[in-house]
Structures are given as structure tokens and as C-alpha cells.
A = this chain, B = another copy of it.
Amino acid sequence: MSKAEISLKTVSTPAVIVDLDIARRNISRFQDYADAHGLKARPHIKTHKIPAIAEMQLAAGAVGITCQKVSEAEAMVAGSSAIRDVLITYNILGAEKLEHLTALARKVRLGVVADNETVIAGLSSAFVAEPAPLRVLVECNTGADRCGVATPEEAAALARRIAAAPGLVFGGLMTYPPAKGAAAVQAFMTRAKALIEADGIDVPVITSGGTPSMMDAADAPVATEYRPGTYVYNDRSLVTRGACGWDDCALTVLATVVSVPSAHRAIIDAGSKTLTSDLLGLTGYGHVLGRDDIAIDQLSEEHGRLVSEGPINLKVGDRLHVVPNHACVVTNMVDAVTILEKGEITGSWPVVARGRIV
């Protein structure tokens, strides 16, 4: 079958579909907000993992991209000469990763984060002999209780440590706050900034992130930069939180009904190997567009079980669009996504940074 003949009716399922028109609109929406509030946008590419979509974000006005792992950053930089500024929001440890990091730093403007002295010591010894110092931001815990120093005082202590470390330069403060965390970010960062500046150290960047609260980012005016990820595609989690509507979901999983074993149950060919088991606090594993009466109550690896209280009214061979709970993890399951423009399939784009976990 030639490319031109592939349509939503014939493409092999399950297929991860990205509507580029919706993605463009989502990118503009946040960029407009950031511009209006004097915030720099640095989108996290974990959601799409595709250099061409990072280029769309940069063209819209983003100052650079965010990655989570070194290998992810390498794949993105290799995939686009437009990607010249990368922040890796991760504690990087180990000889092999540090070797890759120094190579990457020679190619692009690079920043990383650290929340402890072991990581800072490793970065320093890797960069001491490099031509340019590495920018290191201190990761701060503003309530998500994942990584990050617990207090502004600890942040200031690590800032001093970075500023004094050979091969490194202090790059600012970074946090991944919980939803509705703007007030906590403002309080923590204002205090940390004052402490660090009192030491005579400049705080060039204060960067926060998270799509659920991105339209409240300006409620933490101390921040200079914001790192939304999921906003480019959106998903069921964000619709449920009221952050967007179904029409704003650029990513769907196209699935085929393969079995209708009872009047209230149907099975689709998308299971946890496509939709993933991520719940993000929701019940069920996705939303069938146009069928609010259906729940996806169970997944096995290659089967999704659809149930309804009333008649399910589906037949074998029917095709359905499912909005997954969490878009970012879905793109990690496939080697390529199917691109839709003006309702037509226009291409298949490799997810080049898929599976880049080291």
C-alpha cells in the first residue's frame, strides 16, 4: 500500500496519531501566555521526543528545550541543528554518562541540575579540563517530594559549592512543583535567591514547570522560565483537571474493535503496550472519543477491555480514537507516530528519543 493510500480507515492499528494542527495551537497558546508575562518557555521534550516538534516550539519562541536524560538530549541534538540550548533536569552520575555529557556540552549551550554534593563533585571532575564550564542549577523541592533540596538555606549552600567548583558555573534554581504550587515556588525561590545574592552570587535563571498549572505560572513572578511538557499534546488527565478540552488533545490512539463477546463488552487491539498502565489518579485507561458511556476498565498487554452499562453498540472492525490518560508515556511505546494535518495522514515521524533512559 503506498503512502498516499493510507488513511485513518486503512492504517494498521493500534496507531499513535498526532494531529499537528492541534499541537501547533497548543504550542501557541502557552507561548502567548509566556510572552505576555515575560516568562521564557523551555518545553520539556519528554512528551513528543521528536526533533521536528521541538523545532515548532523553538520557532514559536521557546529559548531552548528541557530533557530528562543525557541520551535523550543526545538524540534530540543529533536530530535538529535548531536545538542549540538544552537543560537536563536530572542528577547525572557515573563515568560513562559524564563522558557523554562533556561531548554534548561542546555542541550546544548546556545546563544540568544537582541537588547534592556527590553529583556536583562528579560534574566538576568531568568538566575541570573542558574548554568551557558547565552551567549547574540547584534543584529545589517545593512540595512534590521527589528530588530537590528541602530548604532555601540548603539551596544557597549548594549554590556556593557550585560557584566554587572548578569546571562549573552556578546557573540558577530549578523546581518541578506540585500542581497549584505557584505560591510555594514564589516563597521558596524568593528566599533562596536572596540568600544566594547575599553571598555575591548571581541567580540568572529560576525555572519552574508542569503543564497542569502552566496558565498560573505568572503567580510565581520570581520565576524567569517555565518548562511545560504535556501541553503540546494534552491528554485525559489534563482534560479531567480542567486544563483543556477533548478538542485540544493532539494525540490519540487509533484502535480497532477485535471482539465483541457480550452486549456490554468489547475488546480493542490497544493494551498496555500502547496506552500504558499510567492512571495519574484516574479510573480507567483512556477516553473513547464520542463515547462518554464507555469505560476502558482493564488492559492486558495487547487488549483493551471496553465496558458500558447500556448496549455497547460496537461491531468487530470498528475503529475508535482513544485519548490516553498520559500522552508522554504513550509516545515512548512506539517507534513512530502517524502525523495528521487537516484531517489527512501526511507522514510517519520517528520518535527518535524513545526509550532513551540512560
Taking a contact as CB atoms under 8 Å apart, the answer to whether A12 and B96 are in contact is: yes
Residues of chain A from 11 to 55 with CB closer than 8 A to chain B in the complex:
12-15, 46
Give the complex CA separation of A69 and B13 in angstroms: 11
Q: Using A272-B276, A301-B328 as known contacts, list a sample of 16 further A-B pairs with CB atoms less than 8 Å apart, ordered by residue number in A.
A: A10-B94, A12-B94, A14-B358, A91-B258, A91-B259, A91-B316, A93-B269, A93-B317, A94-B256, A118-B316, A145-B261, A146-B298, A274-B357, A277-B279, A333-B355, A335-B355
Taking a contact as CB atoms under 8 Å apart, the answer to whether A332 and B329 are in contact is: no
Taking a contact as CB atoms under 8 Å apart, the answer to whether A68 and B147 are in contact is: no
What residues of chain B lie closer than 8 Å to A147, measured between beta carbons?
258-259, 261, 267, 303
**Residue on B nearest A118 in the bound complex, by CB:** B316
What residues of chain B lie closer than 8 Å to A357, measured between beta carbons?
14, 270, 273-274, 302, 333-334
Q: Tell whether A165 is near chain B: CB-to-CB under 8 Å.
A: no
Can you show 14 pairs from A to B with CB atoms below 8 A apart?
A14-B357, A46-B301, A90-B302, A93-B256, A93-B269, A116-B316, A118-B317, A148-B259, A148-B261, A273-B329, A276-B277, A301-B328, A333-B357, A335-B355
Give the complex CA separation of A267 and B316 in angstroms: 45
Give the complex CA separation of A96 and B10 in angstroms: 8
Instruction: List the interface of chain A (C-beta within 8 A of B).
Output: 1, 10, 12-15, 46, 68-69, 90-91, 93-97, 115-116, 118-119, 141, 145-150, 256, 258-262, 265, 267, 269-270, 272-274, 276-279, 298, 300-303, 305, 315-317, 328-329, 332-335, 355, 357-358
**Residue on B nearest A89 in the bound complex, by CB:** B302
What residues of chain B lie closer than 8 Å to A13, measured between beta carbons?
94, 358
A158 to chain B, nearest CB (A): 12
Taking a contact as CB atoms under 8 Å apart, the answer to whether A1 and B96 are in contact is: yes
A23 to chain B, nearest CB (A): 20
Give the complex CA separation of A46 and B300 in angstroms: 12
Taking a contact as CB atoms under 8 Å apart, the answer to whether A262 and B150 are in contact is: yes
Q: Interface centre among A14, A146, A276, by most B CB within 10 Å?
A: A146
Taking a contact as CB atoms under 8 Å apart, the answer to whether A329 and B316 are in contact is: no
Give the complex CA separation of A170 and B355 in angstroms: 41
Give the complex CA separation of A175 and B355 in angstroms: 33
A59 to chain B, nearest CB (A): 26
Q: Interface centre among A115, A276, A301, A358, by most B CB within 10 Å?
A: A301
Taking a contact as CB atoms under 8 Å apart, the answer to whether A258 and B10 are in contact is: no
A237 to chain B, nearest CB (A): 13
A186 to chain B, nearest CB (A): 21
**Residue on B nearest A265 in the bound complex, by CB:** B145
Taking a contact as CB atoms under 8 Å apart, the answer to whether A259 and B115 are in contact is: yes
